[in-house]
Structure 1
């Protein structure tokens, strides 16, 4: 498994990138286009963010985004900023082999390196019905927060 930024992968993977939005990459029917929309929303709001591709045998099999957001967006009353791991998606053919955990751990390592800035926490949200995703995130060290985040998703946090 190798992780590269969109900028690093774009020239080489242009044909694959054109296909990504049409592929089903997630258990509840989301596509890579959904991940790109979230990334563009963060970028448009002026938040530091970066989109990554996950490669296996030099072919894209996954995608995720990292951004820096206000921490109080997730835990009201807190100060500072935090990383947000967004839309970690795997091609259905790559699921079930432990890649989700490896990617979540690699994303956490990028946060610890400070690729977008310094923060003490990384958050992510996960659909309550996405059992494989929940298991992968928990194995990578993320812990579910005991707060009512939204109607469909729970919020997870990792200390960096």
Structure 2
């Protein structure tokens, strides 16, 4: 995805989503909706899926630079549905997704109807804020407390 192909607002959305997904720890999963909430747009879980659907592969041509965000540096496999189900994405998409999770030691189960699922109680990652923003939230709370104490 080249910067000129989309509006600045859309570019910023993709950047925020990809950056948030990079913070999901190895061996853990979260939902499309949780990523949307973490980046401040809880009403946009489907758009998180669109971002992942449009995530390009890294370049295999040594003479070409890979896109900044690609499936080699954004752990797309760590995002699944809120029910713990791996979404089918065309032929063999769910099995490829499951294989990538299993490579991280995430247990993937197969249901009676062939659906692939992950136990969110065991492998889920649902922080209130992104780890990269945790210090910002704490320091801003401290500043507000200091301000409040000063003004009382």
Higher strand share: 1
Q: TM-score, normalised by structure 2?
A: 0.32
Q: TM-score, normalised by structure 1?
A: 0.30
Higher helix share: 2
Higher relative CO (Cα under 8 Å, sequence separation at least 6) belongs to 2
- Pick the structure with greater CA Rg: 2
